[in-house]
Chains A and B, each alone.
Chain A
Amino acid sequence: DSGVTQTPKHLITATGQRVTLRCSPRSGDLSVYWYQQSLDQGLQFLIQYYNGEERAKGNILERFSAQQFPDLHSELNLSSLELGDSALYFCASSPRGGGRYNEQFFGPGTRLTVL
């Protein structure tokens, strides 16, 4: 157990819908990263938050957004869902946004299925 929690474990929804994925980082970690894992694209970095502020953006679609709250948990919002959004969504946390200690520990993931 990495100490990173994600809910829900599984999510099944229809095209056009909107969902919210939640992540709680390890105690004391300030950074949260979101990654998408699909069969053909591997692990793709989406977005990073550090202590409530957006720090880096990767291949995140405009239909997706995220935020990190004062208690450091983060939510990833996916809207106007398409079949191709079906994937495993992982969050990871690390103590800092960069700097000396950047080991990232992954949560168990949320499996999203869009029908």
Chain B
Amino acid sequence: GENVEQHPSTLSVQEGDSAVIKCTYSDSASNYFPWYKQELGKRPQLIIDIRSNVGEKKDQRIAVTLNKTAKHFSLHITETQPEDSAVYFCAASNYGGSQGNLIFGKGTKLSVKP
């Protein structure tokens, strides 16, 4: 089955700096890669996603890149703000099949220092 590795487990940056979180996946059939942000005690919230027919996607300060050959994808947050502090999870799934469950990485705790 699919396995998703996520690094780093913790990341501390200064406000205004960029943050990069990386994930690798094992199943070449995976073709949908969402990123979720989770604040303490709250639900995971979808912040951006990418499908395997696209190499990069941007939404304001957030971007995701995908390298299908190497089976890795990354989240880039520019001009970080204290409210970006949270745990970020990457995930992978095969949305073309009859199932669509997400396999998550272990999460990255991002701390943005003012």
Q: Which of B11-19, B73-81, B93-101 is the contact stretch? A: B93-101
Question: In this assembly, does B46 line the interface, its C-beta being within 8 Å of a C-beta of chain A?
Answer: yes
Residue of B44, B94, B99, B106 near A48 (CB, 8 A) is B99
Distance of A98 Cα from B98 Cα, bound (Å): 5
Interchain CB contact under 8 A, B103 and A45: yes
Given A42-B104, A106-B44, A107-B43: A100 touches B95 (CB 8 Å cut-off)? yes
Contact B102 A98 (CB under 8 A): no
User: For B91, B95, B96, B105, which residue has the most chain A Cβ atoms within 10 angstroms?
Assistant: B95
Chain A residues bordering chain B, tally (CB within 8 A): 29
Tell me whether A31 and B100 are in contact (CB under 8 A). yes
Tell me if A55 counts as interface (CB < 8 A to partner B).
Answer: yes
Q: How far is the CB of A83 from chain B (nearest CB, A)?
A: 20
Contact (Cβ within 8 A) A106 B100? no
CA separation between A43 and B46, bound complex, in Å?
Answer: 14
B45 interface residue (CB < 8 Å to A): yes
Top 5 A-B pairs, shortest CB-CB distance: A102-B95, A56-B99, A98-B100, A43-B104, A106-B43
Chain A residues in the interface with B (C-beta under 8 A): 2, 31, 33, 35, 42-45, 48, 50, 55-56, 58, 90, 92, 94, 96-100, 102-109
Give 19 pairs: A residue, B residue, CB < 8 Å, sorted on A: A33-B101, A43-B44, A43-B89, A43-B91, A43-B102, A43-B107, A48-B100, A48-B101, A58-B101, A98-B95, A98-B97, A98-B98, A98-B99, A99-B96, A99-B100, A100-B95, A104-B100, A104-B102, A109-B43
